[in-house]
Structure 1
Amino acid sequence: MKTLLLSLLLCCSLAHGQALKSGVFDPPRAAPEIALPASTSKPFKLSSLRGKVVVLEFGYTQCPYVCPVSLASLAQARTLLGAAAADVQVVFVTVDPERDTTSHLRSYLAKFDPSFIGIGGTPEQIQGVLKDYGISVSKQPVEGKAGYQLGHSSYLYFVDRRGMLRALMPFGRPAADIAHDLAILLKK
Structure 2
Amino acid sequence: MKAAFFALFFLLFSSSIDMANAAEDATLKGGAFDPPRIAPDFSLRGSDGTELKLSRYRGKLVVLEFGYTSCFDVCPTSLAMLAQVRKKLGALAADVQIVYVTVDPERDTAAILKPYLAAFDPSFVGATGSPEQLARVRKDYGISASKNMVPGSKTAYTMSHSSYLYLIDRQGSLRSMMPFGSSVDDVAHDVRVLLSTQKK
TM-score, normalised to structure 2, is 0.86
The yes-or-no answer on 1:71 pairing with 2:79 is: yes
The yes-or-no answer on 1:57 pairing with 2:57 is: no
Instruction: Write the letter of the residue equivalent to 1:177.
Output: D
> 2:34 matched to which residue of 1?
26
CA distance in 1 between partners of 2:108 and 2:20 (Å)? 39
- Contact 1:13–1:184 (Cα < 8 Å) also in 2: no
Alignment partner of 2:176 out of 156, 167, 183: 167
CA distance in 2 between partners of 1:180 and 1:73 (Å)? 13
The correspondence of residues 18-167 of structure 1 with structure 2, limited to 5 A, is: 18-145=26-153, 146-167=155-176
Identical-pair percentage: 58
From the CA coordinates, give the structure whose radius of gyration is larger: 2
CA drift at 1:77: 0.3
CA drift at 1:14: 2.8
Q: Which runs of 5 or more residues in structure 1 are unaligned?
A: 1-10
Report the count of equivalent residues.
178
Query: C-alpha deviations, 1:72-93, integer Å up to 9, x for none?
Result: 0100000000010000000000
Instruction: Write the letter of the residue equivalent to 2:66.
Output: F
- Contact 1:39–1:103 (Cα < 8 Å) also in 2: yes
CA distance in 2 between partners of 1:185 and 1:159 (Å)? 9
**Aligned partner of residue 80 in structure 2, secondary structure:** helix
- Contact 1:110–1:116 (Cα < 8 Å) also in 2: yes
CA drift at 1:13: 7.3
CA drift at 1:40: 1.4
Q: Which runs of 5 or more residues in structure 2 are unaligned?
A: 1-18
TM-score, normalised to structure 1, is 0.91
Pair 115,12 (structure 1): closer, same or farther in 2 beyond 3 Å: farther
Query: C-alpha deviations, 1:10-31, integer Å up to 9, x for none?
Result: x997351500110000000000
Instruction: Write the letter of the residue equivalent to 1:175.
Output: V
